[in-house]
Amino acid sequence: MNAKNSVIDLSLFARYPFLSDAGNYVSMFNIDIDDLSKPEHNEILQEAIREIYEVVNGVSEVKHIDDYIKLMAFPVILALLSYIGSKPLINKYAIKKAKEVEEALRHENDDVLCYVASNGFNWTIKPTEKSVFAINFKDYLIASAMFNDQSWKLINQILINGLVYLSKSRLIRLMAAEVQRRIMQIELKREEPPEGIRSIVLKIREAIKKTIFERHDYLEVSGPINTEHFPPCILSIYNDLISGKSVSHIARFILTTFLVSIGLDVDSIINIFQRVADYDPDKTRYQVEHIVGKRGSRTKYATPKCENIKTMGLCLGNCGVKHPLNVYRRRIREKHERKNFFEKKVQGVL
Amino acid sequence: MKERIFLKKKFKEYYSTLSIEEIKINGLRKREFGFVMFEESGMIRHKAFDSVNKLAEFLREYTPAHAYYSSAYYEHPSAENMNEKKWTGADLIFDVDVDHISTSCKNKHDKWTCLDCNNIGIGIEPKICDICGSGRIESKKWVCQRCLEVAKAEITKLVDDFLLNDFGFNLKDVEIVFSGHRGYHVHVYSKDVLTLDQNARREIIDYVRGKGIDVYFLFGKHSYEGIISYGSSINEPGWLGRWSRGLYDYIVNIKGGIKEKMRLPEKISSLLIKNMNKIIEGYSTNNKPLLSPLALSLKSRNLKLLVEEIAEEYGVKIDEQVTLDVKRLIRIPNTLHGKTGLKATTVKYDLLDSFNPLTDAITFKNGKITVKVDESPEIYMFNKDFGPYQNQIIDLPVYVAVYLIGQQSAKLL
């Protein structure tokens, strides 16, 4: 959209604050994070806080916000999120923002769509005929990684000479996914928040604790492992192993990384391998310690993703997740929530 | 031992005359190098060179049996810890290896032995021994002209149909290399692929292999309700046209009595045979298959199977792991392969058609030498047949001797 290069359209910037033109506009005001506590910027800070609480509380209110305030609040929200340091909160905000952008994009014409894609994401994009767009396959691959659905696989696209052809509605979904992906990538700040926003950050951290966001702490096992939460691929390897069947090197690798991730220590894992026919204590210890990252390159190996397990021919079912640990997490969480529910009920009776 | 010394001496001759131009490497200073030496097993890794001259010097002085570089670029390629190397990107690599493709000639030249019960067989080795059930199977594989032709056909399909047409890569960014043994590598140096992660590379692999194709994509939303009338035209771009051409070939092959190697359930293939005239009729009038009578009798699950099987058959049989791995070590173009003495030859795209590795990749063209061959099938090199041999002392051209010694099938006297 050529006119947009010279004309500042505040309403457009407020709708798509991730545009680099919008970023340039915001930086003209040169507001430092410590300036936010000053009265003249109070409205911006308050808007940022309000949007974050909407995410924390899972509510959403229809409210008219001035374009300037809305635009200026966006970088403040990102800064607050990175200091608050909760990945789940960032992910939830990313989803919310993506939905908002998707809704807004539906009302735009083809020119604006192309402008947002190229100025916002640096995509190579060109309209071909009415409401059909061609984008570079690299940009497509990166953004479409957010989707699990088969219809988004590259093989199910029209790909000609490096360009993927998309209908308007699919382009809009892809752009929303890209917004989500980019926000999810913001890095957590390790250092203490600056004075100007410290009390706010601490307050939001407290508020999150009361919600169900931070539920990782009960994921790790203590005591005997409970195989009923294992996904089918891992369970099958585990069962083969303890029944003394021959298990390939790669399958042992997958199982080990999985067991490490759910919190088993080296000795407990070696214990499991003891039941194997060709058990060799030194070799096993070496290999397990290698995977844990205590030896060799000191890399801690992660459990392969579902698609890689599929490639290896070890996937046994459609669990509807991208990573075997997700099945485990989900089942543990469900159990945890059920337990809480019953405990509450019991308390209620008493 | 003396065989290794002999090979090393021959390799040294090659490297001492190798022109620097032949080992020009994109981004040489950012790559990790790895070598397998004649003297020891295992790989020397984490080497880095700051110029092509230093690399050439190394090859001349130490003369490795195998020389590799990383497809990846690093800030610190010589760091020993992979995290400290700081990955900045990687080329896109494809590997077509006849190991992964079943060719009928394998029954002629490949053999396997069960290490537990000494059972032996020919062709591709089974996962477990059919007599004792052991998984300890040792195989002896050879490649022949035919195997390499099959690999070349796959590479041609990969480069022409996929890399140049669909992905639109520039020919100057695509390098085709004979691997020096059983197949070909293709290196893509485009900036569009440099920083792609494994997820994105997985999508490229699936695209090229023909995996994960969707019935909806080919036939539209109503396909599962069985109201498909036509498939896509053979002239359509990308997989739409490719799939349609695939189905056509498949049906014509059945009609012509050519046994198909696709593993379709009996029910589907008999339906296809029953309807083949109608389907072909669609092709001859519209360039599209008329599928409705067939589709009406296929359950959605069977239709999905048919669609997927044809797509996989018409994809390229690449080794997925090589393309997926963004930190892979890959043989350096124009270095020698320690198991064959053949040169991992860069092949110009225009010359691919006429390239014959068992002639054009031969390095040691001069001289003869006497060796004792334990066992070898008939091999064809430099337009001549040699063997088969069994426990024979024989005078052979140096390139054949090097090849058989590299394969550990011959010894010096």
The strand pair at B384-386 and B389-397 is best described as unpaired
Residue B189 domain-assigned (yes or no): yes
Q: Same domain, yes or no, for B51 and B120? A: no
pLDDT, one tens digit per residue, over A319-332 is 778 899 988 888 88
pLDDT at A311 (0 to 100): 76
Residues B193, B153 share a domain: yes
Q: What pLDDT is stored for residue B222 in this prediction?
A: 54
B165 CA to chain A: closest CA distance, Å? 5
Is the residue at A217 inside a domain? no
Residue of A nearest to B85 (CA): A297
pLDDT of A76 > 90? The answer is yes
Q: What percent of chain A has pLDDT over 70?
A: 87
| A157·B238 Cβ contact <8 A | yes
Give the gap in angstroms from C-alpha B44 to the nearest C-alpha of chain A: 15
Using a CB-CB cut-off of 8 Å, the residues of chain A touching B192 are: 136-138, 162
Q: Within this chain, do residues B182 and B63 fall inside the same structural domain, yes or no?
A: yes
Gyration radius from chain A CA atoms: 25
Whether B103 is in a domain gets the answer no
**CB within 8 Å: B238 and A246:** no
Q: Is residue A249 part of a domain?
A: yes
Nearest to B196 among A138, A153, A161 (CB): A138
Structural domain including B73 reads: 2-98+145-203+322-361
Expressed as residue numbers, the domain containing A315 is 227-340
Residue B88 and residue B194: Cα distance in Å, rounded?
8
Positions of chain B with pLDDT lower than 70, given as ranges: 221-230, 259-262, 292-297, 299
- The answer, for A318 touching chain B at a CB cutoff of 8 Å, is no
What is the pLDDT at residue A343?
55
Length of chain B (residues): 413
Cα separation, B132 vs A64, whole angstroms: 77
pLDDT score of B273 = 83
In a domain, B412, yes or no: yes
Chain A residues 154-213 with a CB less than 8 Å from chain B? 154-163
Whether residues B168 and A157 touch (CB distance < 8 A) is answered with no
pLDDT band at A275 (very low <50, low <70, confident <90, very high): low
Q: Is the Cβ pair B200, A141 closer than 8 Å?
A: yes
Residues B228 and B248 in one domain: yes
Q: What CATH number is associated with residue B377?
A: 3.40.5.50
Asked if residue A221 is part of any domain, the answer here is no
Better pLDDT: A247 or A204: A204
B157 and B49 both lie in a single domain:
yes
Q: Which of A99-103, A219-223, B260-264 has the highest mean pLDDT?
A: A99-103
pLDDT level of residue A313 (50, 70, 90 thresholds): confident
Confidence of residue A220 (pLDDT cuts 50, 70, 90): very low
The nearest CA of chain B is from the CA of A151 a distance in Å of 7
CA A161 → CA A117, A268, A331, B126, B162, distances in Å?
A: 20, 53, 45, 41, 9
Same domain? For B389 and B293 the reply is: no
Do A47 and A194 fall within a single domain?
Answer: yes
pLDDT at A144: 93
Rounded distance, CA A291 to CA A299, Å?
7
Query: Chain B partners of A159 at a C-beta cutoff of 8 Å?
Result: 166-167, 207, 237-239
> Are residues B80 and A297, on separate chains, in Cβ contact within 8 Å?
yes
Total domain count, chain A: 3
State the average pLDDT over residues A217-233: 65
Please answer yes or no on whether B204 and A138 come within 8 Å at the CB atom.
no
- The highest-confidence range among A86-100, A145-159, B180-194, by mean pLDDT, is B180-194
Provide the pLDDT confidence category of residue A243 given band limits of 50, 70 and 90: low
Which residues of A fall within a CB distance of 8 Å from B167? 137, 159, 162
A141 close contact with B: CB closer than 8 A: yes
On whether both B114 and B235 belong to a single domain, the answer is no
Q: Is residue A311 within 8 angstroms of chain B, CB to CB?
A: yes
Judgement on whether residues A99 and A112 belong to the same structural domain of the protein: no
A39 part of a folded domain: yes
Does B214 contact A153 at a Cβ distance shorter than 8 Å? Answer: yes
The arithmetic mean of pLDDT across residues A6-30, rounded, is 91
Given this model, what pLDDT does residue A2 score? Answer: 43
Average pLDDT over residues A50-58: 92
Torsion sign, CA atoms B166, B168, B171, B177: negative
Residues of B in contact with A162 (CB under 8 A): 166-169, 192
Are residue B191 and residue B219 in the same domain, yes or no? no
Give the residue, B139 or A121, on which the prediction is more confident. A121
Chain B interface, Cβ < 8 Å to A? 80-83, 135, 165-169, 192-193, 196-200, 202-204, 206-207, 210-214, 216-217, 237-240, 311, 320-321, 324
In angstroms, the CA B166 to CA A228 distance is 46
Shortest CA gap A278–chain B (Å) = 13
Q: Per the domain annotation, does A345 fall within a domain?
A: no
Closest Cα in chain A, distance from residue B255 (Å): 29
Dihedral angle sign, alpha carbons of residues B68, B73, B77, B81: negative
Residue B372 lies in a domain: yes
φ, ψ of residue A91 in degrees (nearest 5):
-60, -40
Q: CB A161 to CB B214 under 8 A?
A: no
Looking at the structure, tell me whether residues B239 and B309 fall in a common domain. Answer: yes
A347 reaches B (C-beta below 8 A): no
- Confidence band for A219, pLDDT divided at 50, 70 and 90: very low
Reported confidence tier of residue A224, pLDDT bands at 50, 70, 90: low
Residue A117, Cβ density class (10 Å: 0-12 exposed, 13-18 middle, ≥19 buried): buried
What are the residues whose beta carbons fall under 8 Å from the beta carbon of A229, sequence distance 6 or more? Answer: A327, A328, A331, A332, A335
Indicate whether B178 belongs to any domain: yes
Determine, yes or no, domain membership for B104. Answer: no
Q: How confident is the model at residue A295 (pLDDT cuts 50, 70, 90)?
A: confident
pLDDT at A7: 64
Total domain count for chain B? 4
Same domain, B189 and B62: yes
Q: Is residue B252 part of a domain?
A: yes
Looking at chain A, the number of H-run helices and the number of E-run strands are 16, 4
pLDDT on residue B256? 77
Q: Which residue has the higher pLDDT, A32 or B96?
A: B96
B132 and B159 in a common domain: no
User: Do residue B64 and residue B160 come from a single domain?
Assistant: yes
